[in-house]
Amino acid sequence: MSADKDLVSVQQARDLVEAAHRAQGEVARFDQAKIDRICEAMARAALREAARLGALAVEETGYGVADDKREKNRFAAEDVWNYFRGLRTVGVVSESKDVVEIASPRGVVAGIIPSTNPTSTAIFKILIAIKSRNAIVLSPHPSAARCINESARVMREAGIKEGLPADAIGCMTTATIEGTETLMKSKQTAVILATGGIGLVRAAYSSGKPAFGVGPGNVPSFIERTADVPKAVQDILTGKCFDNGTICASEQAVVCDAPIEKAVREQFKAQGAHFLSNSEADQLAKIVATPQRSLNPGIVGRSVEVIAKMAGLSVPPGTRCLIADVGGVGREYPLSMEKLSPILAFYVVDGTQQGAERSKEVLQYGGMGHTAGLHTRSREVAIRVGSELPASRITVNTPTTHGAIGFSTALPPSMTLGCGSWGGNVTSDNVSPLHLMDIKRVAFETRPVKSSRPAVTVREISQPAQPVRSDAPSRQPIVSASGGKISRDEIAEIVDRFLAGRRPEELEQSLPSPPPPRPIETEAGSMYSGPSSGVREPRLTRTDNGERSGRQDPTSVRVTSPASNGRSVVDFVSEDDVRRAIQKGEKIYINAKTIITPAARDIGEPAEIFAKT
């Protein structure tokens, strides 16, 4: 039966991702207005169904509080959408004189959805995926498959009415590890949004695809001696008890500055918390942690009454939270781990430095990179402590649960919180539509790059030929009539043929007087230099005794060779050759090996001087 379920899950993942890939091609062509209409419709539909979906999640998973889940659904549908409504995700999204940024969707998003926050996470991931013109396929936690599929259905139907392809939102109904791996590793999957246990997140990172994962949130909350104690305690209990502590950013440990310890304890008792004795704490620890020192899933998201009954404890009626004094952090102290339930560890420290050190220890034991809380009246203390903690979010004077997700702070609202390199994640951001787009940047030159071979301008090309210096740099590469580059060996061969076939007196007639002797450069590029055509005039060289030599200077030579049709094919054409041909009304016959200087080509081609043989 298990093997059959795996096969069904694998095939379902393949079918959904293929269909989503086709649908995404259509979504990618939508303009901004259409994308926003679709997202608006989906957000409104999720908001209308927030209470029903929240109740369905509690009914199916047994985790949390229905009304709190309704509020999380509302947050994901309303607050998230309101924050990102105006974000441009189509075409040019930012522009300056020097850089233009253009948004491009990623493709198909694989959305891994947990059981602790199933419906709100599904709503959130669908919204940010479609807003950034992607398609999405959800892999639900098996214990929450029904409520997650219902959330996807609600949003899909609302989107279809505004033109969204039905397959742009997919959700597996049979989700197994094998099926989820198939989804993540599919060649059509572009990026993974992985929210869930550490094993699942690691699988996402090992899939070979870009992945935005999260990590566990063993969140410390430090109450520094200048804090407003009643408010600090109120905030901690508000965050810890919200949805029975199922949000990873909820407080897990209170770190109390010694001078205010008594006041803090009194406030916790006054506001509904119950401090356990050492023996009671030991009883609680036995049901919180497994023998392998992992969290017992049976207590996750459960109420104080249920947990107390499981541990055999008697607590006052109306108790909101259980608090235990813990002697340290680590495997020997089970209550120092992330508990995802209304249970807090309690530590006492003396001073800011000790508070920061203890908070760091808590984070290092299963919460690296996630969130930390701080309650203080000193902005300087907040910044100093925050700079020391390995956490991506340090919330100040607010519940960490609500502050980290952007509900009570100015952080981007998100149900997927990156933990940075501390937690093995690719980002420390609150994940948003921005993370599901590739940004192309069109960048214009702001600082010219010096070149040893400057470009030839139109003005230079149009100027008449000028005397050429032997040390002038080459302007253009030498090319043949067919457009290919000519090697130095080929040039040498042409020059040799010229020297063998031309007589000194022929060159004497073309020159008014012989120039002074110049060395013959060996670099092919330096043979064609000068301010105008880039071509040297042909010339003779002199011998040491001053007499004219029969050896010609191999520059701007015109060599002829017979063609099959009897025409004389020219092997080299200079600007002067073209001008003479224009004056005489003649054609210059060339073939694929003929070398034509750039200036000669610019003048000759418009005049239709060249005839190929």
pLDDT digits (tens, 9 = 90+) for 404-457: 999 999 999 999 999 999 988 889 999 999 999 999 999 999 999 988 876 765
Q: What DSSP character marks residue 315? A: -
Q: What distance in Å separates the CA atoms of residue 117 and residue 566, rounded to the nearest whole number? A: 88
> Is residue 502 scored above 70 in pLDDT?
no
**Length of the chain in residues, anyone?**
613
Helix boundaries (H) for 389-540:
400-404, 458-462, 488-501, 504-510
In this predicted model, which residue has the larger pLDDT, 270 or 480?
270
Whole-number Å distance between alpha carbons of 41 and 151: 14
pLDDT digits (tens, 9 = 90+) for 305-316: 999 999 999 999
**Could you write out the DSSP letters of every residue in 57-101?**
HHHHH--S-HHHHHHHHHIIIIIHHHHHTT---SEEEEE-SSEEE
Q: How confident is the model at residue 468 (pLDDT cuts 50, 70, 90)?
A: very low
What is the mean predicted confidence (pLDDT) over 515-542? 38
What pLDDT sits at residue 98? 96
Of 143, 118, 415, 73, nearest in space to 297 by CA: 143
With a cut of 50, say whether residue 549 has pLDDT above it. Answer: no
Between strands 568-570 and 369-375, the pairing is unpaired
Answer CATH for 2-214+436-442 from 3.40.605.10, 3.30.300.30, 3.40.50.1260, 3.40.50.620: 3.40.605.10
pLDDT tens sequence across 46-63: 999 999 999 999 999 999
Are the folds of 2-214+436-442 and 219-409 the same? no
Q: Which fold has domain 219-409?
A: Aldehyde Dehydrogenase; Chain A, domain 2 (3.40.309)
pLDDT > 80? residue 506 = no
What is the mean pLDDT of the segment spanning 324-338?
A: 96
**pLDDT class for 560, splitting at 50, 70, 90?**
low
pLDDT score of 45 more than 90: yes
- The predicted-structure confidence for 91-127, as pLDDT tens digits, reads as follows 999 999 999 999 999 999 999 999 999 999 999 999 9
Task: Find the range with the poorest average confidence among 82-91, 179-188, 208-217, 315-324.
Answer: 208-217
Instruction: Answer whether residue 335 shows pLDDT above 90.
Output: yes
555 pLDDT above the threshold of 60? no
pLDDT at 484 over 80: no
Residue type, 311: A
The 10s digit of each residue's pLDDT in 350-369 is 999 999 999 999 999 999 99
- pLDDT value at position 514? 47
CA–CA distance, 370 with 278 (Å, rounded to integer): 29
Region 458-463: what's the mean pLDDT? Answer: 53
Report pLDDT for 487.
62
- What pLDDT digit, counting tens, does each position of 561-608 carry? 555 556 678 888 888 888 888 888 888 888 887 888 888 888 888 888
- At residue 602, the pLDDT reads 82
pTM given for the model: 0.74
Q: 9-13, 50-54, 141-145, 596-600: which range is least confident on average?
A: 596-600
CA distances from 375 to 236, 244, 325, 387 (A): 10, 22, 20, 15
Question: In this prediction, what percent of the chain has a pLDDT beyond 90?
Answer: 67
Q: Please answer whether residues 205 and 213 qualify as being in contact, where contact means their C-beta atoms are separated by less than 8 angstroms.
A: yes
Does the pLDDT at position 64 exceed 80?
yes
Residue 464 pLDDT class (50, 70, 90 cuts) = low
Residue of 246, 196, 122, 174 whose CA lies nearest to 6: 174
Task: Point out the residues that are catalytic.
Answer: 248
Give the lowest-confidence range in 66-75, 232-241, 430-439, 494-503: 494-503
Q: What is the pLDDT of residue 382?
A: 97
Per-residue pLDDT at 466 exceeds 60: no
Q: What is the model's pLDDT at position 43?
A: 98
Residue 541's pLDDT is: 39
Stretch 510-519: mean pLDDT, rounded? 45
pLDDT, mean over the chain: 86
Supply the DSSP symbol for 577.
Answer: H
Residue 234 pLDDT class (50, 70, 90 cuts)? very high
Q: HSE (CB half, 13 Å, CA atoms) of 55?
A: 3
Average pLDDT in the 305-328 region? 96
Token output for 448:
């010219």
| Domain limits, the chain | 2-214+436-442, 219-409, 458-612
pLDDT higher than threshold 70 for residue 288: yes
343-352 residue pLDDT tens: 999 999 999 9
- C-alpha to C-alpha distance for 386 and 374, rounded to whole angstroms: 8
